[in-house]
């Protein structure tokens, strides 16, 4: 049987890869994809705890995370489309009007 | 436990294998006599112009976005339908409220004309 | 090596490897396709955790719906080929990388020291938890409020997306 810690390590590794993507990439779409990666790694943690503890709450949370991710993707991509219409770019360094 | 997924696994491998074998077999078995005319992009007899990587219209985004939202709705309907007998009338009211709220969004989409293609 | 552990290591290697590809590819279409591969690996891992329903939902909702939306938007903005961004190495990226690796080491240290909970103690119940019947029974009783709030969230998402993305509001 695979121990719980192995699942947690996979999920932690994916989370950190996602956070590196968010921190280092400047393409808004890829930053968004990295955020999805981080959400999924958290889902893996929830699922492994749910399975190992025999409690369905973790799976429910993962289910709601997916629902929220769908809503987030719809609105987030709409924001990217609106930004692209205005500035003709998805480079996050060029979207800096609200930076001081 | 995991052994019970073996039939599904065999089916996936079979389906993918079939697709790959059929695609590749065409390459090996079919006769190939290429000419310049045959290799050019087929566009109903017209000369192909411009890049194929044209920008899509925002209409496609609208359809995909609505698809996601109503896909989620179906995903919620599925466990509800499976345990409907167990849930009884309260379960029915629950789902009724859920669908009623989503219908508000649906009518909004309709009135805003996001469902119309042009 | 049992068949379970072989599956686990193959799927985790696939998940971590494809995650690396997602953040390192320059072409967003390729990154999105690697992310779909990652979702399939995760669905396999969920199956190994006896969560059949969530594994299927993962493929239907994430790989099937959310990634389609992503690909449409990438093609809508036509970022596939021409509009690649030039991304160089900046001090900010170096600091971000170092901090992320520090977090990774910290998490590994904590998780390797965690005493593992025995999964086998549950016996037959372990497979029952993830079934559609059980999820349905719990979702519409214990998790009723989050479920109803979800409908509001989805409605808000519809309205928000249309207001933001529609060209002309009439």
Taking only the tens place, the pLDDT of each residue in B63-118 is 888 888 888 988 999 999 998 888 889 889 999 999 999 999 999 988 888 777 76
- Which CATH architecture does the domain made up of C3-84+129-165 adopt? Up-down Bundle (1.20)
C144 touches chain B (CB under 8 A): yes
Answer yes or no: is pLDDT of C87 > 70: no
Mean pLDDT across the stretch C114-127? Answer: 63
C122 at B interface, C-beta within 8 A? no
Kindly calculate the radius of gyration of chain B based on its CA atoms and give it in whole angstroms.
24
Average confidence score pLDDT of chain C: 84
Q: Give the per-residue pLDDT at A95.
A: 81
Give the nearest partner residue to C132 out of B62, B64, B82, using CB atoms.
B82
Domain holding A50, by residue range, is 4-87
Cα B35 to the center of its chain, rounded Å:
36
Contact B58 C76 (CB under 8 A): yes
Q: Which residue has the tokens 């290591």?
A: C9
Residue A27 backbone dihedrals phi, psi, to 5 degrees: -80, 120
- Tell me what the pLDDT averaged over chain A comes to: 89
pLDDT at C169: 45
Domain edges within chain C: 3-84+129-165
Confidence category of residue C48, pLDDT binned at 50, 70, 90: confident
pLDDT mean over A31-51 = 92
CA–CA separation, C152 and C127 (whole Å): 32
Interhelix angle A57-87/C132-139, rounded to 10 degrees, is 80
In angstroms, the separation between the Cα of residue C169 and the nearest Cα of chain A is 13
Q: Give dist(CA B12, CA B16) in Å, integer.
A: 6
User: What's the confidence (pLDDT) of residue C14?
Assistant: 95
Per-residue pLDDT at C39: 95
CA dist A82 and A76 (Å) reads 10
**Residue A94 domain-assigned?**
no
In this predicted model, which residue has the larger pLDDT, C83 or C160? C160
pLDDT at C89: 76
> DSSP for chain A?
---HHHHHHHHHHHHHHHHHHHHH--BHHHHHHHHHHHHHHHHHHHHHHHHHHT-THHHHHHHHHHHHHHHHHHHHHHHHHHHHHHHS--BTTT--TT--
Q: How far is B65 from chain A (nearest CA, A)?
A: 6
C10 and B CB contact within 8 Å: no
What's the pLDDT band for A9 if we cut at 50, 70, 90? very high
Strand (E) or helix (H) holding B10: helix B6-29
User: For B32-41, B67-76, C82-91, which range has the lowest pLDDT when averaged over its residues?
Assistant: C82-91
Domain ranges of chain B: 2-112
- Output the pLDDT for position C137: 87
Q: What is the mean pLDDT of chain B?
A: 85
Mutating which of A68, A74, A83 best tests the B interface, going by the most B Cβ atoms within 10 A? A74
Is pLDDT of C133 > 60?
yes
What SS3 state is found at C102? helix
How high is the pLDDT of residue C86? 64
pLDDT band at C170 (very low <50, low <70, confident <90, very high): very low
User: CA–CA separation, C148 vs B96, rounded Å?
Assistant: 10
Domain count for chain A: 1
For B2-112, the fitting CATH number among 3.40.50.620, 1.20.1250.20, 3.40.50.200, 1.20.58.1610 is 1.20.58.1610
Stretch A34-58: mean pLDDT: 91
Among residues A2, A4, A3, A1, which one has the least CA distance to residue A45? Answer: A4
* Per-residue model confidence (pLDDT) at position C120: 52
DSSP label of C84: P
C124 CB-contact burial (10 Å; exposed 0-12 / middle 13-18 / buried 19+): exposed
CATH of the domain at A23: 1.10.287.3510
Distance in angstroms (rounded) separating the CA atoms of residues B29 and A12 = 49
Task: State the best of B77, B101, B118 to mutate against chain C, taking most chain C CBs within 10 Å.
Answer: B101
The confidence score (pLDDT) of residue C117 equals: 67
pLDDT for B36 equals 78
Cβ(C52)–Cβ(B8) below 8 Å: no
CA trace torsion B78, B79, B84, B87 (10° rounding): -150
Are A53 and C129 in contact, with CB atoms under 8 Å apart? no
- pLDDT per residue as tens digits for the range A56-69: 889 999 999 999 99
The mean-pLDDT minimum among B26-40, C19-33, C150-164 falls in B26-40
């Amino acid at each position: 049987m695979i121990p719980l810690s192995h699942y947690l390590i996979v999920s932690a590794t994916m989370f950190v890869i996602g956070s590196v993507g968010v921190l280092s990439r400047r393409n808004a779409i890829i930053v968004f994809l990295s955020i999805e990666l981080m959400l999924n790694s958290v889902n893996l943690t929830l699922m492994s705890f749910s399975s190992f503890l025999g409690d369905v709450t973790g799976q429910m949370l993962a289910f709601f995370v997916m629902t929220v991710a769908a809503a987030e993707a719809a609105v987030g991509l709409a924001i990217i489309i609106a930004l692209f219409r205005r500035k003709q770019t998805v480079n996050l360094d060029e979207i800096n009007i609200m930076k001081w | 436990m995991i052994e019970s997924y073996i039939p599904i696994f065999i089916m996936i491998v079979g389906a993918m294998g079939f697709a790959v074998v059929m695609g590749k077999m065409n390459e090996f078995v079919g006769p190939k006599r290429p000419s310049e005319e045959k290799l050019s992009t087929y566009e109903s007899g017209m000369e192909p112009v411009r890049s194929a990587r044209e920008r899509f219209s925002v209409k496609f985004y609208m359809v995909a976005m609505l698809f996601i939202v109503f896909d989620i709705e179906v995903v919620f309907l599925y466990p509800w339908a499976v345990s409907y007998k167990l849930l009884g009338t309260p379960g029915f009211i629950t789902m009724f409220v859920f669908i009623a709220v989503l219908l508000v969004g649906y009518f909004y989409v309709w009135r805003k004309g996001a469902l119309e293609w042009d | 090596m049992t068949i379970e552990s072989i599956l686990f290591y193959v799927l985790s290697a696939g998940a971590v490897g494809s995650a690396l590809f997602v953040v390192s590819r320059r072409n967003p279409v390729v990154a999105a396709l690697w992310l779909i591969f990652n979702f399939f690996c995760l669905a396999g891992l969920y199956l190994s955790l006896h969560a059949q329903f969530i594994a299927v939902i993962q493929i239907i909702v994430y790989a099937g719906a959310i990634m389609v939306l992503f690909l449409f938007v990438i093609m809508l903005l036509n970022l596939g080929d021409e509009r690649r961004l030039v991304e160089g190495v900046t001090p900010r990226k170096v600091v971000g990388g170092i901090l992320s690796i520090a977090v990774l080491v910290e998490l590994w240290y904590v998780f390797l020291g965690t005493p593992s909970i025995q999964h086998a103690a549950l016996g037959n119940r372990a497979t029952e938890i993830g079934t559609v019947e059980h999820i349905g029974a719990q979702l519409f009783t214990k998790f009723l409020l989050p479920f109803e709030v979800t409908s509001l969230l989805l409605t808000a998402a519809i309205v928000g997306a249309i207001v933001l993305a529609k060209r002309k509001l009439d």
